[in-house]
Amino acid sequence: MLRTILTSNIEEAAGFIRSGEVVAFPTETVYGLGADALNAVAIQKLFQAKRRPSDNPMIVHVSDPSEIDGIGSNIPKSAIRLIEAFFPGPLTLVLTRDPRIPEVVSAGLTTVGVRMPDHPIAREFLRACGRPVVAPSANVSGRPSPTTWQSVFEDLDGRISCILKADPTRVGLESTVVDCSDEVPVVLRTGSITLGQLQSVEPGAVLGRPNDAAMGRSPGTRHRHYAPTASVVLIDHPSDMAPDANAAYIGLAAHPDPESLVGYSVAADIESYARRLFEFFRECDRRGVETIYCQSVRREGLGAALMDRIHRAVER
Ligand code: AMP
Ligand code: MG
């Protein structure tokens, strides 16, 4: 068992990365679990801490676009245009992997995911690390991604060397993942950078469909994800809820009788619903809720990403 240091000191946290240890840090999407991308032993530690299946590739994080060359190679024009438009931001690009990046990073694939977070602490931390950092979400595999440092602590205390503490994350859902390793950019995972935004720069960009070859190359999209222990049920409106002694509700519409619920969250808009979802799942688990009812939203813009995450939690 490791002693997990909690700190707000960026330099202290970066020191652990430089000495081959695993560190959780904030980004604008969710908290990430970082390790030196060029150190295969550190990456092994990360897989173990997270209990992550070794066939699930990880995203390499950079503090500046100039570092992307050397992580990806033969970077296509489409990727360059997306980088210019959306980096830094909640967008991951899948590129052909440069041989400098160890194969374990991308679980044996010939490609690699790259992202530059739009978060001042993340960027300063990555700069202080002085090398590319792999960072999947800082949860135990299968659990909802952490949007607070306290949720990182709940999952990983004693399993990692350090948590860089900061505020709850702004977006609350993981990055949009776009495969740019082929001619047509394909969205492998929806997120807060929407298909419409991508198409405004790359009109040919498309959503990956479950049976596409590109989706087959993104193993993470097949794994069970984002699920609380409670069962999750999707409903159109809170009035559709069955009477239930141990239930919680999250959505946009108010519930007629919130007093009857063990957990309750009404969001003013889709952005706040998305920001709140994973932490709400975790709060419900802490309270032993049996069923979490989630109100459906329209699958457009950020709503598509929110519905994707809820569906994965329903399906398991
Ligand atoms: P996480 O780090 O938990 O946000 O998950 C990262 C996800 O990004 C993976 O589960 C994959 O779905 C996707 N991904 C990362 N790298 C690649 C890659 N080289 N090829 C395809 N998908 C990738
Ligand atoms: Mg994850």
Q: Look at the alpha carbons of 59, 62, 68, 70 in this order and tell me if their dihedral is positive or negative.
A: negative
Dist. CA 262–CA 279, nearest whole Å? 15
Lowest mean per-residue pLDDT among 13-27, 44-58, 100-114, 201-215: 201-215
Tell me the pLDDT of the chain averaged across its residues. 94
pLDDT of residue 184: 93
- Calculate how far, in angstroms, residue 299's C-alpha sits from the geometric centre of ligand 1: 22
> What ranges make up the beta strands (E) of the chain?
5-7, 23-25, 32-36, 59-61, 72-73, 91-97, 111-115, 133-134, 162-164, 176-179, 186-189, 206-207, 231-235, 247-251, 263-266, 291-295
Q: Which atom of ligand 1 is nearest to the CA of 56?
A: 10
Lowest mean per-residue pLDDT among 164-173, 237-246, 262-271: 237-246
Tokens of 79: 């990727």
pLDDT of residue 209: 81
Q: 276-303: per-residue pLDDT in tens?
A: 999 999 999 999 999 999 999 999 999 9
Q: Is any atom of ligand 1 closer than 6 Å to the C-beta of 225? A: no
Q: What dihedral angle (degrees, nearest 10) is formed by the CA atoms of 157, 104, 191, 225?
A: -60
- Calculate how far, in angstroms, residue 218's C-alpha sits from the geometric centre of ligand 1: 6
pLDDT of residue 131: 97
Write down the domain spans for the chain: 5-217, 231-314
Q: β-pairing, 133-134 with 32-36?
A: antiparallel
Tokens 């980096």 belong to 87
- Write down the pTM of the prediction: 0.95
- Calculate how far, in angstroms, residue 175's C-alpha sits from the geometric centre of ligand 2: 10
Which of 114, 104, 110, 100 lies closest to 54, judged by CA?
104
Q: Is any atom of ligand 1 closer than 6 Å to the C-beta of 218? A: yes
Q: 117-134: per-residue pLDDT in tens?
A: 999 999 999 999 999 999
Q: Superfamily for 5-217?
A: DHBP synthase (3.90.870.10)
- Calculate how far, in angstroms, residue 256's C-alpha sits from the geometric centre of ligand 2: 35
Dist. CA 84–CA 79, nearest whole Å? 9
According to CATH, the topology of domain 231-314 is Rossmann fold (3.40.50)
Percent of the chain residues past pLDDT 90, beyond the cut: 88
Lowest mean per-residue pLDDT among 132-141, 149-158, 223-232, 295-304: 223-232
Dist. CA 221–CA 53, nearest whole Å? 12
Lowest mean per-residue pLDDT among 4-8, 9-13, 51-55, 248-252: 51-55
pLDDT of residue 80: 97
**Mean pLDDT across 186-201:** 97
Residue 304's pLDDT band (cuts 50, 70, 90): very high
pLDDT of residue 216: 65
Q: Is any atom of ligand 1 closer than 6 Å to the C-beta of 34? A: no
Lowest mean per-residue pLDDT among 29-33, 212-216, 301-305: 212-216
Percent of the chain residues past pLDDT 70, beyond the cut: 96
Of 226 and 78, the one with more pLDDT: 78
Residue 224 carries which DSSP code? -
Dist. CA 131–CA 146, nearest whole Å? 24
pLDDT of residue 219: 57
Q: End-to-end distance of the chain based on CA atoms, in angstroms?
A: 30
Dist. CA 56–CA 261, nearest whole Å? 37
Helix axes 10-18, 120-129, angle to 10 degrees: 40
Report which residue type is found at 56: N
